[in-house]
Structure 1
Amino acid sequence: MELRNFVKPTRDQLDRLHRLRLFSSEAPAFWAQFTEVAQEMTGASQARSIVRLDGTWNLLAASPSAGVNHRAFLQQDLEAQAALALESGRGVVAPAESKTGALHVLQALQTEATSTACLLELRFVSGEQPAPEAEIWSSLLPLLADTPRIYQKNRAAVEMRQDVDRMREALDVLAVVNGHNKFAPASMALVNEVTSRLEAERACLGWVKSPYVRVVAVSGTEKFERKMEILQDLEAAMEECRDQDEELVWPASSNSSAICHDHDVYSRKSESACLLSVPIRNGNEVVGVLTVERPSPPFTESEAWGLRVVGDQIAPRLTDLKEKSRWFGARWAASVREQLAKALSPKHTWLKFAAIVTSAILLFSILVPFTYRVSATFIIRPDSLAHLPAPYEGFIAQAGVRPGDLVVNGQTLLALDDRDLTIQRAETMAEIRRHRANAELAEAEGNLAELRVSRAQQSQAEARLDFLEYQLGRSEVKAPFDGVVVQGDLRERIGAPVQQGEVLLQVSKLDGLYVEIRLPERDIDLIGQHRSGLIVFSSRPDLQFPVEVEMISPAATPEGEGNMFILRARLLEEADWLRPGMSGVARLDGGDRTLAWRATHRIVDFIRMRVWF
């Protein structure tokens, strides 16, 4: 279609559209300019860009920005016309819902997020209605439709470069901090480096000393008076940042919900018009706050993000240096010694305490028994396991299952390519018809010898057809029973050749699973009459399943780690997710044993094996 009053875009308009494709600012500014350019280039009276979020169309931008009549756009017919535009990917013309003679053009917009639907709606008043065969449909609207996607790609590339730059700066600052082995010099190096990089007037580092934040370093100042009022205001601003656990920028933006009261107070008293405070997190804990000041310009979101990356990188190093600078062990030891001296006696406090604790531990370990469990490995085995081979030599056509899939009796698991067999069957059927015709002709002519030959050939061809039908019936490999596929992922072998008898799949029944435990020979005597235990699967270490040993193999099996006895155990509890081949650790009851026996029985057994008469 074309517009009767359509005028080709000017060079300036095309240049503006090109600049929009390379636009690097935020999305709201892009959509406002894009909608304005689309209106001007198409000559529409009004235009708007909308996006579908949670099933509702939301406005991104409208043009002209002032005095636009939003009720003039499609309302009731929007869903139906939008679906047509999104499905076709081209411009869709819809009449106005009111009797104004206006027409609406809906064009689907391309974005990086293919799941998000965006539309450009153009409104043409009476006298500007579209008519067939126009340049606006063949080139201009597709050019507009592709612009948001190109903008988003360029925007993502710009953000990636910014992230790389921030990380490089963070690593540079971390290298400066790592050059010091003491907390105080490292803190001073940090604030001086941040001041230089952000062209700030001052940078201060506060460290959490529960429940407050105390200033530990100020750029350009090695010593400062802690009782200064301005320093207390700074610490209050740092605590405000720590309490909210987010970056605080002053002056705050109009859409910010953060509380910056203490930052306002400190800004007025310190005559620093612009402030930026970033919490320093070590893991999930805020251990410090970094505050930067300068007269102008205000700190940007990019600078706040970059400083946060710096804080995340230096936090572990500063925390480690801070811990090393404190002799907490000496203070703790003195406190414990004082309390013990009051409880025991004024002399030989540590010796008495050590003797009492040691004696109590020894008596407890020798006299108090606990249930001892022998550790071993296990694997889940099925009672019924079917091997499904290739019925004949051929190629894999499709594979519908993979290991772990549940199957039912008679379900098709895979199919071999039967095209060659189908062709041979067709040829054989044609051969049968030919021999039948020859036999009838020979019978009509009274040629008995030819009749017998034709009928013999017909019988031979029919036998071959029966064999082909038999092979075609076996081209699909089906499940022999209800169960689960335990081996055979053939999805990557589609089209690959297979040999007759080659095992392609293994299917196991889900009922009748048992536990096969491999117990070292050195622990077999600990089992005795105890036949119970617990197992824990590697995939679910949070769950324990009770088992009961049903059988112990009469002979040990040599393995790389020594001789092993195979134990068959029964699961006393079932779970839907149990599958053959799952493994884990089993702990079998070995009677009541003391802690002293547990700690020494290996050594005692070793000595007994080496020293005996």
Structure 2
Amino acid sequence: MNVTALHQPKFQSTTGNVSLQELAAASELGPNFWQHYLIAGAHALGASMALLLEKDATRGVWRAVMKYPQRSSNLTEFAETLLLGAEQSQAIGQPIESVLDTGQRLRMLPLAVGPSSHQTGAVLALWLPYPAQESVLETAFEHIFIALPEQVGRNSSGQTVSGDVRLANDTLMRLTHDVCMQDRFLKAAYHLCNVLVTKLGAERVSLGIMLRGRIRLSAVSQSADFDRRAAIARDIVDAMEEACDQSRAVAFPDSEEGRVVNRAHRIFSESHGNRAVLSLPFEGRKGLFGVVFIEQKEQPVSTDELVRLRHLLAALGPFLDRIYAADRIFFLRWIHAASEGARFLLGPRQIAAKLGVLTLAASLITASLIEIDHKVGAKATLRSDELSVISVPFDGFLASVHTDLGEHVSQGQRLVTLDQRELLQEETIALADVVRYRREVEKARAVRELANMQIASAQQAQAEAKLELVRFKLANSEILAPRNGIVVEGELRNNLGSPVRQGEPLLKVASTHTLFIELEIRQDTVPLLNTGDIGQASLVGHPDKKIEFEIERIDPVAEVRDNANVFLAKANILGNNQSWWRPGMGGNAKINAGKHPIIWVMTRRTINFLREFFWL
């Protein structure tokens, strides 16, 4: 390539500011457009100087076309850097940046079209402050200014597409601004999806982010509460990961069928209404960060819209990455806040802050020295030492029930009656058999038939045994209370007439005179307790009334209750039983675990968690 010295700009720059909307609406790429384009680019991106270069198609050399401001420094000292930067930027199609000896950044933005029809490339050079200030808006403006001449060129040639209406420059700028104004990642993600689904006329827009090599669906347009386990959500994630694996936009239907793998997109489209779908990956601060997934029934995303979406996501990707990290990694915010607080406190005039720190230090010292009674919480339940299970004495049918659940019963009180009708019939039959066999014995004795007499005698004994069994069942068909107590289990009134089998439990009667408290102690507090410790329990029915107790025994083996390991302890009640107490009543208990410093009480669980988490 022949390299010649840079010529002075051909066109003279004019003064005055023009909005991006007016630039985008320009009818042609004339000198007036390029003058205002250069001025707007310098002002929007904060450049001290802007230069437009184009490459001559016939000679293959770069030349300066326009400069702003006109009376800025001479370009000779930057000639080599400009030529090399312009060539590299145009070759890779991406902005490049270098640091000048003057302490400024020279940023080169490649353009698809230039001022002259006989050029093969154009570059916008900007002199920016150094060091660079990380700004999402600056990146967004860069992408907008790169695409702006190409859009105006299409307008002038009558090639305007629907994307210019649906994703105009002012729409992209407003969307970029609104997203960057969000203080939470989810707010920004949902705002992006909701605006895109409206502007593109799409059915749904979804956003997924890359976490540990997998895509996690984070936001779905117009759906604040979605199920990630749903089939459609899994299909969306599969399509997103297909695009991420190829590091490029993937669509279905696609004009590049065969050159791009879009199997997951095709499956999604066929499974969910034959929609046109598009996955567009974008990068964050350090590589691939997320994917936008667009579903449309009509008017799929055009080539122009795809370019604009790429520019938009390239601008928003670092911001979304940063705000997501800020939401997720909380201890980094703490470190930053601590450093800012240290600078604030070390200032010469921060008297109130220093007094606050001294007060806090005094409070910490006091909390470390003063000891208080530490109480351990536990679940408490009233239990009975004497519990009688009343079971069915023989097979039969439930005839009547004479007690209800929770009712006090006395020893010998009738509780349940079994059906006696069949037993009475069996008693009559057995009694008739006894009489009949007795007569046969007497008859055989009269005629001296010893063998028949012995047979009849045995049959008589068998009939008498059967009669005795039937009368035993009749005597036990009324089930009586074995002791004084309260019925704690057994709701039988709804089962009248139903069959019951021998040994089947019917009722449970618990004594109210031998109650104790069963404690469920968490495994992290068991080491603090011993037998003989005193505590108080309050039941749900009367939380204002405290029950004094003393721990008698702590079981050595843990049990699983509510998906947690607990140790059961038996505690004797210190005092008289109350009439309103019932076995099974529950509540909470506080157990005295000795005296400990205030700071130990406040930080014990946190310190134990940190020791376990960090293996200290």
- TM-score band by shorter chain is 0.3 to 0.5
Larger radius of gyration between Structure 1 and Structure 2: 2
TM-score (norm 1): 0.40
